[in-house]
A and B are shown apart, each in its own frame.
Chain A
Amino acid sequence: MATIISRRRVVADNWQLLKLSADGSIDIPSDGDVIVPLSVWLAQRDALVKRTARLGVWLEGKDDPALLAADFKHFALIAVHFEHFVDGRGYSIARLLRERCGWQGELRAIGDVLRDQLFYLSGCGFDTFALRADQDVQAAITAFADFSEAYQASVERPQPLFRRRSSIPKNDTTDASI
């Protein structure tokens, strides 16, 4: 059974990630929790909603997250696939899902997901992470604590630092001398 990071802990996971085969077809098992590509959801939604197991859908960098906004009630999970970790489109998709479309369920990063991007992914609203197979999942947990603050407004910190300063203890804002 695969392991993923969920809310900063390593947990077992039994979701099946389904991909289109080379000829464009896809085999959807009758049982079990599955994550299907957006195109499959759009084409086969009637069949998919009849399944009893939980349903997830996954997006690619080029996909428009707004296409899902009216369908949230059907999903237990939305995943965003990173073809290569340097393709940063998924970060914007995550924020749009969380901040614009109002998705509050599980948001999972899949594909080329590495330890050194976890801090930023988390800031953009991902809460579960299926790391690339070669990654040390247990060691990766420390990456969430790489930084103890952030300047920007984000999903994790809806208020930017400058709007939170008044509530930060005084000794945290004393001058550093040069």
Chain B
Amino acid sequence: MYLYDEIDQRLVDERVAQFRDQTRRFLTGELSEDDFRPLRLQNGLYIQRLAPMLRIAIPYGLLASRQLRALADIARKWDRGYGHFSTRQNIQFNWPKLEDVPDILAKLATVQMHAIQTSGNCIRNTTTDHFAGTSPDEIVDPLVWCEIIRQWSTFHPEYAYLPRKFKIAVSGSESDRAATQVHDIGLQATRDATGQVGFRVFAGGGLGRTPLLGAVMREFLPWQHLLTYLEAILRVYNRFGRRDNKYRARIKILVKELTPDVFRAQVENEWSHLKGGAATLTSDEVQRIEKRFTRPAYRKSDALSPDYVLALATDKAFSNWVRRNVQAHKVAGYAAVTLSLKKTGAPPGDATADQMDAIAELADNFSFGELRVSHEQNLILADVRQTDLFELWQRARALGLATPNIGLITNIIACPGGDFCSLANAKSIPVAEALQARFDDLDYLHDIGELDLNISGCMNSCGHHHIGHIGILGVDKQGAEYYQISIGGAQGNQAALGKVLGPSVSQAEVPDVIERLIELYLARRDSEEERFIDVVRRIGINPFKEYVYGNHHQPAASRRRQLATA
């Protein structure tokens, strides 16, 4: 964990006092709704369809057990006993009362948490790889760089009223697990020919209604210049980004309209004035931040224990879970474990207060009291001894957190959708539940193999449907909720945007369409090693399109099965 110093703490406390006064003035009518809106948004507070929604930052996804317990307390005291982990390393509460929000923020501040800049047209919570600091292939620890960016972006006086929201992602390794190319700025750690550390800088990526991959601004930016370069990009965007149309206001539109080359030239020109200035980072500062992170005190571990090896060999359920939910660790004898919040029947990313408390205890017992929140809406214990895996699995299973579906089709990423969000065209959670129920057979699930399925309730793309191997987007068709299916999207180094399969379909038809996609994939793959996305890349989307839409008279797979068993 990064531990606040006195100044970090004081600023968060002062923010609570500021927002308490703003809320008081709003409630007494001194502050109009229009004047209050940007202020509450920059404290994470939306007014939603059913109630306010409060979005709390989990900076770069790192959470201490004590913080998770505080979130459980908040869920019980001010909400309806649960929270929703979003795709951006935040947690959202859907039922707080506006007048209680200052108290909730004060409670958060006692555990070094906040809701600062989790919404609004400002620099948002910086996100990273959920295995940060534990992966064998890292060039830098992205947590340190995310914290440097957190401090720089927090209450930045010049960039609180940007044309639109602004999201930065950091990857600490060449293998991109932070979706850096679909962020407003993506930073990917790299080395130059002399071995010096720096970042490859992307700008202008994003999803939403105009999905675009980021353009390379610099192949190599030495680390000292990170903040001045960010300032240069933000200043060009703040001055010249479009403000006439909120759908054309993201930086990706500016980069596209100017062309990446012209935009880059403007940034470089701005940077020529800022380069080497006071914001240039020093190794003292990087070390100071590094030292404020507590680090796990890893113990030297024996080779695999006989019990573990035996369980792996004899217990299929356990070995399935290890295969899907356990990740290699840079320290011998340790592993990173994903606790699935995607159990069939539960909305993706939701956790009850009791589950949060139980997970906090697992973190205390098995992972140095820390956990991670992934953009796939799961929780991760990043530092678990291999010898503890069997016991952890048993306990996680009893809590309903051991569904062995990480990377599989039922590990669905979904936004809260029309059940909660006033922007959504369509519901996403019932669609996720119907799909989880359809693919509930574990053998079938594992046979299908790796597949990212993402659902967004509208074009704002909070469920990142563009980069799902299968993406499902809620659309409004003459007042009815329909779903547009796309395939071929991907995150990571081979990031790609999915292509629309064909006309949108009704909610009831979605599971049939997905099942037909899977049928064709299973028929056309050349081996079990060839994943769904690989087959789409190899044969293109037309065979899938024809198989789904080609023969309207042909009953869908589920109905065929029903007929067969009737």
In the assembled complex, the Cα of A163 lies from the Cα of B288 at a distance in Å of: 12
B3: which A residues are within 8 A, CB to CB? 175-178
User: In this assembly, does A58 line the interface, its C-beta being within 8 Å of a C-beta of chain B?
Assistant: no
A150: which B residues are within 8 A, CB to CB? 155, 157
The 0/1 profile, CB within 8 Å of A marked 1, for residues 244-278 of chain B is 00000000000000000000000000000100011
A88: which B residues are within 8 A, CB to CB? 121, 158-162, 238
**A151 and B5 contacting across the interface, CB-CB below 8 Å:** no
CB distance from A81 to the nearest CB of B (A): 14
**A161 and B155 contacting across the interface, CB-CB below 8 Å:** no
Choose from A86, A154, A172 the contact partner of B157 (Cβ within 8 Å). Answer: A154
B8: which A residues are within 8 A, CB to CB? 176
**A92 and B157 contacting across the interface, CB-CB below 8 Å:** no
In the assembled complex, the Cα of A152 lies from the Cα of B152 at a distance in Å of: 6
Binding site secondary structure of chain A? loop
B31: which A residues are within 8 A, CB to CB? 116
User: In this assembly, does B14 line the interface, its C-beta being within 8 Å of a C-beta of chain A?
Assistant: yes
Docked complex: B19-73 residues within 8 A CB-CB of A: 22, 30-31, 35, 38-39, 64, 66-67
CB-nearest residue of chain A to B243: A87
In the assembled complex, the Cα of A147 lies from the Cα of B160 at a distance in Å of: 15
Given contacts A116-B35, A158-B278, A177-B3, contact A124 B11 (CB under 8 A): no
Choose from A95, A100, A147 the contact partner of B11 (Cβ within 8 Å). Answer: A147
What's the interface size class on A, roughly?
35 or more
Given contacts A147-B14, A151-B152, contact A86 B7 (CB under 8 A): no
**A178 and B239 contacting across the interface, CB-CB below 8 Å:** no
Residues of B within 8 A of A (CB): 1, 3-11, 14-15, 18, 22, 30-31, 35, 38-39, 64, 66-67, 111-112, 121, 151-152, 154-162, 235, 238-239, 243, 273, 277-279, 281-282, 284-285, 288
**With A89-B238, A176-B6, A178-B66 given, can you name 7 additional A-B contacts, CB distance below 8 Å?**
A88-B160, A91-B159, A92-B238, A119-B157, A120-B155, A136-B30, A176-B5
Residues of A within 8 A of B (CB): 61, 85-89, 91-93, 95, 100, 114, 116-117, 119-124, 136, 146-154, 158-163, 165, 168, 171-178
Q: Can you list 15 A-B pairs, Cβ within 8 angstroms, ordered by A? A: A88-B121, A88-B158, A91-B238, A92-B235, A95-B158, A150-B155, A151-B152, A151-B154, A152-B156, A154-B158, A158-B278, A172-B6, A176-B4, A176-B8, A178-B3
